[in-house]
Amino acid sequence: MNDCVFCQIAAEKIPCFKIYEEEDFLAFLDINPWVEGHTLVIPKKHYRWVWDMPEESVGQYFAVVNKVANHYRQVFKTEFVMSWIYGFEVPHAHIHLFPNSRGKIAFYPKEKLPMLTNKEGEKLAAALKLK
């Protein structure tokens, strides 16, 4: 979809702080994070909701989410990588990952961190990148 911000990120028409990429999926830092390393994992193809994805793609999608989550468990030296599926703000399927989030997120977090600047985002994405 032309006016979808995550479709534009997937098509590299607008930039993101990339963490991991496969042919059909992409993980990048949330620009306005709840916790450090807050990451979104998306299918590049547009679906409004995660639940709209065809059954044959869901396993591969979850394998990518699993890969990034386990990478963060190592990098952040924690068991805790919490996750949400929301979709209030951006109408393109995405799964939120919150590394090292124990005690930082309750049922609904109180406050987001400041928006990532280019410098912060690039530095963090370089440190967290999954090759």
> Number of helices and strands (H, E) in the chain?
3, 5
5 by DSSP, 3-state: which?
helix
68 binds ligand AMP (CB under 6 A): no
Closest by CA position to 112, among listed 35, 17, 39: 35
Residues 6-25 touching ligand AMP, rule: CB under 6 A, are: 16
CB 124 within 8 A of CB 29: yes
Among residues 35, 36, 31, which one has the least CA distance to residue 15? Answer: 31
> Residue 82 CB, nearest distance to ligand AMP (Å)?
14
Query: Pick from 19, 30, 93, 98: which binds ligand AMP (CB under 6 A)?
Result: 30
Is residue 109 near ligand AMP by the rule CB under 6 A?
Answer: no
Residues 28/18, Cβ–Cβ less than 8 Å: yes
Under the binding rule (CB under 6 A), the answer on residue 82 touching ligand AMP is no
Q: Which residue(s) pair with 26 in the sheet?
A: 21, 42
- Which residue's CB is nearer to ligand AMP, number 56 or number 108? 108
Any contact of residue 89 with ligand AMP (CB under 6 A)?
Answer: yes
Residue 32 interacts with ligand AMP (CB under 6 A)? yes
We find the least distance from the C-beta atom of residue 131 to ligand AMP, in angstroms, to be 21
CB of 28 to ligand AMP, least distance (A): 6
Give yes or no for a contact between 97 and 68, defined as CB atoms under 8 angstroms apart.
yes
Residue numbers at the binding site for ligand AMP (CB under 6 A): 5, 16, 30-32, 40, 86-90
